[in-house]
Amino acid sequence: MAAKARRLLAVATALAIAVAGSGMPAVAAPVEMRVSHQWQQGTDARDRALRVFVDAVSRRVADVKFRIHPSLSLNIKAVAQYDALQSGTLEMSIYPLVYAAGKVPEFSITILPGAVSSLDEAVRLRNSAFHKKLQEIAHRNGVHILTWWWTPGGFVSRSKPIGHPDSVKGLAMRAADPVYESMLKSAGASIRSMPSSELYPALHSGALDALLTSTESLVSMRLYDQVKEATIGGDYTMFMLLQPLLVSTKSWEALTPEQKAAFEEAARVSESFFEGTQRQSVDKAVEAYTKAGVNVRPLTKADYEAWIALARKTAWPEYESKSADARDLLKLLLAGLGK
């Protein structure tokens, strides 16, 4: 038996050497990607677009598996997800880049008031020099921007309607980004900083009087239960925000070329889906808030122009002062839109 065992071992060793010498690649273990975000499963378009992306990847490659953790169920706080991506302890997240503006000030461009003024403009910037520069900065800071998901939004208030910049005077407000909030301060508002996941209780407790957020969050988070006024709909908005699906660069660089290609193709599929949802989201928000008894009004052209004038005097110069990269990003954005 010992002789037989030695013969079998010799055969197995010879086969292993033959395979190794053949240049055939080793069979890689399946890649597992955990994806975290703060929004509700199924009801929020960001979660639904993520599942469109996952399905599209799965139809292209079989060796990548995803675990989706909505509503912060992975127990990583909303803002802290960026740190987890940088360290590689989290593979993917749907993440408003402005949440990381404290670490990467250039990311404030993704909500800079009046810079991107519509979904059409946001779509035009896809694959532009601005997009490429933003991706370069993201890579230097540990993340890869995978999807180009932009959300329109508006103002809501517990007390008075918001129109002209003068209307926010005396209100405790949140706008998610320090550069944007500096503009609100200049108009007389006081600032409360918090992620979207904390908006409902802050309105309920009175810690917040008013805020800006996406129409997607306005509906999926049921903020209409806590407000009396909403400035949404119409032709003008002071809220456009990039909320992409991010990949840790450590995870991105570990993917094979085939896997990366599948991710990029799936990202384009998800973008088409997400853009469609956002073109409907404003009408859905107007309908939901009207049905809830909230006084809904659009931002008028005169009020919009007053906000733009204020932004150009406050938020834009403050943003440009952040760095040479910030100045370049704003120039590239404006050039990409012909402004």
Within the chain, residue ranges assigned H as helices are 2-21, 45-58, 81-87, 119-124, 129-140, 178-186, 199-205, 215-220, 249-254, 257-291, 301-313, 315-320, 324-336
Token code pair at residue 277: 């949802």
Tokens 């993340």 sit on residue: 143
Q: What is the pLDDT of residue 89?
A: 97
Residue 1 has pLDDT above 60, yes or no: no
Band the pLDDT of 197: cuts 50, 70, 90: confident
DSSP 128-174: SHHHHHHHHHHHHTTEEE----EEEEEEEESSS---SGGGGTT-EEE
Q: Please name the amino acid found at residue 55.
A: D
Q: What is the mean pLDDT of residues 27-49?
A: 90
Q: What is the pLDDT of residue 34?
A: 98
DSSP structural state of residue 269: H
User: Alpha carbon of 164 to those of 184, 227, 305: distances in Å?
Assistant: 11, 19, 9
Q: What is the pLDDT of residue 14?
A: 43
Of 233, 202, 212, which Cα lies nearest the Cα of 298? 233
Question: What is the model's pTM?
Answer: 0.89
Q: What is the pLDDT of residue 9?
A: 41
DSSP structural state of residue 193: -
How do residues 200-257 score in pLDDT, each as one tens digit? Answer: 999 999 999 999 999 999 999 999 999 999 999 999 999 999 999 999 999 999 999 9
Q: What is the mean pLDDT of residues 17-26?
A: 44
Q: What is the pLDDT of residue 12?
A: 43
Q: What is the pLDDT of residue 15?
A: 41
Q: What is the pLDDT of residue 28?
A: 53
Contact 151, 240 (CB under 8 A): yes
How do residues 74-95 score in pLDDT, each as one tens digit? Answer: 999 999 999 999 999 999 999 9
Q: Which comes out higher in pLDDT, residue 20 or 162?
A: 162
> CA-CA distance, 228 to 293, in Å (whole number)?
8
CATH 3.40.190.170 fits 30-336, yes or no: yes
Band the pLDDT of 10: cuts 50, 70, 90: very low
> CA-CA distance, 294 to 201, in Å (whole number)?
18
R_g (Cα) of the chain, nearest Å: 24
Torsion over CA: 167, 170, 171, 173 (sign) = positive
